[in-house]
Amino acid sequence: MYVSVKGGEKAINNAHSWLSEIRRGDVNIAELNIKQISEQLTLSVDRVMSEGSLYDKDLSALAIKQSRGDLIEAIFLMRAYRTTLPRIGSSKPIETSKMLCLRRISATFKDIPGKQKLGPTFDYTHRLLDFKLLADGEYEKAKIEKYDDKEIPHVLSFLNKEGLIQKEIPSDKTSKDITRNPINFPLTRSERLQSLSRGDEGFLLGLAYSTQRGYARNHAFVGELRTGYVEVQFEIPELGIEINIADVMFTECESVNQFKGSKKIPAQFTRGYGLVFGQLERKAISMALVDRSMRWKEFGEEYLGVAAQDEEFVISHCDNIQATGFLEHIKLPHYVDFQAELDLVRKIREEYKKNE
Amino acid sequence: MQNESRKQWLSSLATADENYLISLWDNLNMKIEYNWLREPEIGSVMVQGKVGATGDNFNVGEVTITRCSLNLDKKIQGHGYVQGRNKYKSKIAALCDALMQTEKKEIIKRNIIDKLIKYKNNKRNEILSKTEATKVDFFTLVRGEDK
């Protein structure tokens, strides 16, 4: 018999009132505003946009404020909002070679056209707490230097010219949108990349790390890492004119991995690709490594039975909203289900006693 | 070419800093009569990337876009497709797009479009000059055995 239970309405309302109060914190301390979050917690904002799969800084900052800084909760809010938006259309594919770079480095070549540019990075800092930030509002100003406004070519295009790396053949093939179509394995690489780009940073970091430690043999170099603004081009349906409809910050990582050759093709390096909204290079590198490890079949490599090679395992578990939805639902009332199990255990125990 | 210049001004309006565009427009204090063809609506555009920067397309994620369309008289239509969720920004963009097709073109160009272009160029220059200052200059140390 199924017994429905009602109640808890007052408890829920009062819990939410307290949530509202505790979110505000000590009222003697100034309240955070959205602009402070979007200007000063930029990397949190970027993460919420990337995994929320929606590029909008103000919304991201609002989600972070509303969620008391719980980024997965904030990502949940972004995803929920995203589903309410009518889709106006799809952009032209972005051209990351035309990126306005804040940062561009290569770990494989020292001297590259366009040079190595560090940008605003935590790299080479000492990771010591800076107590000055505790005290005053002082900060150092960025230095400036004269520049050449030239396009910065992709590092891997140089290897490409010599045929030393597997080519990404230019193509106009569009991909199925995994937010609009059910996922059917096996997936195309495009579908996997869409899923990875909105996947959980921590999960992908762990998987990428596992490939480095030997669970899937593919030693990776960072061929190139770049962060900057890219113009998004979109054709206005009424006019048929393509315009720069948005400027979006991306981080792109191209990994160079160990080679593959055959009787027909001499040995050449292979590659993995990462592309995410915002300045999220840990995520972009992780994505490139996991992308590469899932390409084993394409290169005729051995399946070692490890997590990072298994696209069904990776793609089914990298979405933190799906994961948290399923995980957290078990804390909601399951009284009836549990009652059934309790009855069953009692019955088994009774039978056990009888037979003793 | 009409299309090329329209592409230019629509792009400038779309990616303009919203507060800057609103202040430029409000300062002009123009009273324009118009009819809505489509009132401002917030939506999204799916951004596509390329596998390995040059291969097949793939969907990266969406960006918020607001759009509207209006006409000044029966002949002249303006379209306001802009980044973000600001309906007023979208309306200003549509009005500017329409006015750029009238004899008011010079006023809008001088007081809005040119300024937006300059603003964006300044931002671009600022980023480029800061990035340049973080350029790595390598130098090689002479090793002992080379002596």
Q: Which helix (H) or strand (E) holds A350?
A: helix A335-355
Whole-number Å distance between alpha carbons of A132 and A194: 41
Nearest to A245 among B14, B124, B134 (CB): B14
Residue A4: the pLDDT is: 61
Do A168 and B131 lie within an 8 Å CB cutoff? Answer: no
Segment-wise mean pLDDT, segments of 10 residues, chain A, 356 residues: 72 97 97 97 98 98 98 98 97 97 95 93 95 85 94 89 87 90 95 98 98 89 97 97 98 91 82 97 98 94 95 98 96 88 94 91
Question: pLDDT tier at B146 (50, 70, 90 boundaries)?
Answer: low
Complex ipTM tops 0.90: yes
Residue A258: the pLDDT is: 84
Question: What residues in B contact A252, CB-CB < 8 Å?
Answer: 53
Cα–Cα distance list, B118 to A145, A283, B112, B125 (Å): 20, 34, 10, 10
Instruction: Tell me the average pLDDT across B67-73.
Output: 95
Number of A:B CB contacts under 8 A?
229
- B2-8 CB contacts, 8 Å cutoff, 24+ apart: B3/A241, B6/A239, B6/A241, B6/B97, B6/B100, B7/A241, B7/A242, B7/A243, B8/B113
Do A94 and B50 lie within an 8 Å CB cutoff? Answer: yes
Residues 237-296 of A with CB under 8 A from B: 238-239, 241-248, 250, 252, 254, 271, 273, 275-277
pLDDT digits 0-9 by tens, A47-90 = 999 999 999 999 999 999 999 999 999 999 999 999 999 999 99
Tell me, yes or no, if A102 comes closer than 8 A to chain B by beta carbon. yes
pLDDT digits 0-9 by tens, A213-240 = 999 877 899 999 999 999 999 999 999 9
Locate the domains of chain A by residue range: 9-82, 96-123+146-318, 326-355
Nearest to B81 among A115, A119, A243 (CB): A243
Do A110 and B138 lie within an 8 Å CB cutoff? Answer: yes
pTM for the complete prediction?
A: 0.94
Q: Sort A134 into a burial class: Cβ within 10 Å, 0-12 / 13-18 / 19+.
A: exposed
Tell me the shortest Cα–Cα distance from B6 to chain A, in angstroms.
8
Residue A266: the pLDDT is: 85
Tell me the shortest Cα–Cα distance from A58 to chain B, in angstroms.
9
Residue B60: the pLDDT is: 98
Nearest to B10 among A118, A241, A276 (CB): A241
Residue B92: the pLDDT is: 98
